[in-house]
């Protein structure tokens, strides 16, 4: 079914596929150089400055792969080469899988038309949220790549006679282990792979030693996660279990999740259903379980409020090759004008949405999101109107200023009042440790611990998530405003940072957001 990976099919394909890949890569590079690290990116970059077998909230690979560049003090735009290349590698795998799947149909690609590989890559490239993961390195970026690689390996092992190849099984075990080192939800991909192989070969597969060798190799590769958790009271597994439960299940969040999924990934990928139908009489018909299983679980969790839109990205990547087959079949059956027009219209809508999202990210938001300049005293100013795109700007300057102010005031750390504010200031103000002044256990408790009672620190407040100054009896004996730093981007003030010299921590945190 699946032979060695080769670029031959890509270069035999019309130039359109290479153009899509080149445009996407250039967009990722340009935007990656234009915006600062997001909260999650900075958090995982800090993993690389605190190398460990695993971490409180995620497995370690997202930190390990950044360590060489972080150790060399590479700038952010260089760090972002990692997700950019992972996205490109994922797209190349999707192309190859779609081309092989099309060979199962009655109308294999004849190199004279745009085939399934092109349409699969286009559907992936026009999914707005997938570009975010191609710019910022998250565990999902890694799992996207390994899901595509697992799909490729599984397709090969489903062929008759392939199960006697030790190299194929060893490769599968290695990829399964690396996927497990990327994110805990890789377990769904592993179960889907098992389902595909059992469907192809039946229970006799279990009598072969090589599947068990692959399982043992995967367990060995992922063992650092288990070792770290055993040393730390299995805290990650407890946290993920509680996090996955969420609250009481409700229909409205579930429906909202589905709507967001459609907007975030676009309708072109839904042609995966048509691709499955075209392949329903072939052995490849079971492969969409790599989409169905994780998507169904995460959609179900959304009803309890515990599923984020980007968590399903690896599942959508698994559907992309089938979407390529479905689109190719849809357009090649006599190809009336209305068919081409409908697909072209959807592609144009998704392109506009994707470019619009990237424009908002680079520009710091739209005019109607721009906060009004505070007229009251900066220390007492109310929070500014919410602007999610302001989040990507200003933290580098704030971190540099925090380093200077801490040195001037003889302070040995910085502090914030919410864990989501800690990663950016922690990255850009390193090597200063960051204390989170809220009663919540997180990764920063491993790295810096609680601010000791009686301690002093440089408190950083951000206007987009502004807190009351934490004074006695539940905060510090005194906090002196040192200065404010506005974030000005393209002539517009997006947010404001406030820096306080805070002394004599009383050790009873009760953070309170400022009222709008």
List, run by run, the mean pLDDT of 10-residue segments along the chain (516 residues).
Answer: 56 78 94 92 96 95 97 94 97 95 73 80 96 96 98 92 87 98 96 95 92 97 97 90 72 92 94 94 93 95 84 97 94 70 88 90 72 48 72 94 96 94 95 92 92 95 93 92 94 93 90 79
The β-bridge partners of 495 are 487
Domain assignment of residue 2, yes or no: no
* Residues 385, 351 within the same domain: no
> What φ, ψ does residue 494 adopt, rounded to 5°?
-90, -35
Peptide bond between residue 335 and the one before it cis (omega within 30 degrees of 0):
no
**281 & 416 share domain:** no
Strands 457-462 and 434-436: unpaired
Same domain, 426 and 484: yes
Q: Are residues 271 and 194 in the same domain?
A: yes
Q: Are 44 and 69 in contact (CB under 8 A)?
A: no
32 and 180 in one domain?
yes
pLDDT reported for residue 383: 60
The reply to whether 371 falls in a domain is no
Asked if 98 and 241 sit in the same domain, the reply is yes
- pLDDT (0 to 100) of residue 340: 74
Q: Are residues 172 and 197 in the same domain?
A: yes
Nearest to 27 by CA among 135, 140, 117, 124: 135
- Do 266 and 399 fall into the same domain? no
Percent of the chain predicted with pLDDT > 70: 89
Same domain for 316 and 388: no
Phi, psi of 487 (to 5 degrees): -95, 110
Please give the sequence-ordered ranges of beta strands (E in DSSP) within 251-384, or none if there are none: none
pLDDT of residue 376: 43
The total of structural domains in the chain comes to 2
* Count of alpha carbons within 13 angstroms of residue 258, beta-carbon side: 10
Residue 511 within any structural domain of the chain: no
Residue with tokens 């994707």: 354
Helices (H), 372-470: 395-409, 422-428, 443-447
* 352 plus 385 within the same structural domain: no
Residues 397-421 as b/e (b if ≥16 CB within 10 A, e otherwise) read bbbebbbebbeeeebebbbbbbbeb
CA-to-CA separations, 411 to 43, 131, 404, 406, 422, in angstroms, rounded: 23, 40, 10, 5, 17
Burial of 488 (0-12, 13-18, 19+ CB in 10 A): middle
**pLDDT (0 to 100) of residue 163:** 77
Q: Check whether residue 320 and residue 424 sit in a common domain.
A: no
SS3 call for 487: strand
* Rounded CA separation 343/345 (Å): 5
Which pLDDT score is estimated for 379? Answer: 45
Q: Do strands 414-416 and 434-436 pair parallel, antiparallel, or not at all (unpaired)?
A: parallel
Whether 470 is covered by a domain: the verdict is yes
Please give the residue range of the domain that contains residue 444. 378-505
Statement to judge: residues 223 and 250 lie in one domain: yes
514 within a domain of the structure (yes/no): no
Closest CA to 171 of 219, 220, 218: 218
pLDDT, residue 244, reads 63
């Amino acid at each position: 079914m699946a032979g060695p990976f080769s670029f031959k099919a890509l270069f035999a394909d019309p130039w359109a596929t290479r153009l899509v890949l080149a445009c996407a890569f250039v967009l990722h590079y340009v935007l990656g150089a234009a915006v600062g690290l997001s909260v999650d990116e900075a958090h995982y970059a800090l993993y690389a400055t605190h190398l460990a077998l695993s971490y409180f909230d995620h497995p370690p690979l997202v930190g390990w792969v950044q360590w060489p560049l972080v150790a060399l003090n590479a700038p952010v735009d260089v760090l972002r080469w990692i997700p950019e290349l992972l996205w490109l590698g994922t797209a190349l795998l999707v192309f190859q899988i779609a081309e092989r799947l099309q060979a199962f149909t009655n109308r294999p690609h004849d190199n004279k038309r745009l085939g399934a590989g092109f349409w699969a890559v286009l559907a992936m490239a026009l999914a707005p949220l997938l570009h975010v993961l191609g710019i910022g390195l998250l565990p999902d970026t890694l799992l996207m790549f390994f899901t595509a690689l697992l799909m490729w390996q599984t397709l090969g092992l489903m062929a008759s006679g392939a199960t006697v190849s030790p190299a194929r099984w060893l490769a599968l075990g290695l990829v399964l282990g690396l996927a497990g080192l990327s994110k805990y939800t890789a377990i769904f991909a592993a179960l889907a792979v098992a389902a595909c192989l059992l469907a192809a070969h039946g229970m006799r597969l279990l009598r072969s030693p090589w599947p068990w060798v692959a399982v043992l190799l995967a367990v060995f590769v992922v063992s650092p996660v288990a070792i770290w958790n055993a040393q730390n009271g299995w805290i990650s597994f407890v946290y993920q279990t509680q996090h996955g439960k969420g609250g009481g299940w409700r229909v409205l969040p579930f429906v909202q999740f589905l709507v967001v999924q459609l907007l975030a990934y676009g309708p072109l990928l839904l042609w995966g259903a048509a691709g499955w139908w075209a392949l329903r009489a072939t052995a490849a018909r079971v492969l969409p379980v790599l989409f169905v299983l994780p998507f169904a679980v995460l959609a179900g969790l959304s009803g309890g409020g515990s599923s984020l839109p980007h968590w399903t990205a690896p599942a959508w990547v698994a559907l992309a090759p089938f979407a390529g087959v479905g689109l190719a079949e849809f357009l090649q059956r006599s190809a009336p004008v209305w068919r081409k027009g409908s697909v072209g219209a959807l592609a144009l809508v998704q392109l506009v949405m994707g470019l619009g999202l990237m424009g908002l990210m680079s520009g710091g938001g739209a005019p109607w999101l721009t906060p009004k300049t505070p007229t009251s005293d900066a220390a007492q100013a109310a929070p500014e109107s919410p602007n999610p795109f302001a989040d990507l700007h200003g933290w580098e300057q704030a971190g540099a200023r925090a380093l200077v102010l801490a040195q001037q005031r003889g302070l040995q750390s910085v502090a914030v009042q919410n864990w989501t504010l800690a990663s950016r200031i922690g990255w850009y103000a390193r090597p200063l440790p960051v204390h989170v002044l809220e009663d919540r256990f997180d990764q920063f408790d491993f790295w810096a611990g609680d601010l000791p009672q009686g301690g002093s620190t440089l408190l950083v407040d951000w206007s987009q998530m502004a807190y009351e100054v934490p004074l006695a009896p539940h905060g510090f004996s005194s906090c002196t405003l040192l200065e404010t730093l506005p974030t000005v981007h393209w002539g517009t003030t997006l947010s404001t940072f406030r820096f306080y010299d805070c002394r004599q921590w009383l050790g009873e945190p009760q953070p309170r957001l400022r009222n709008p």
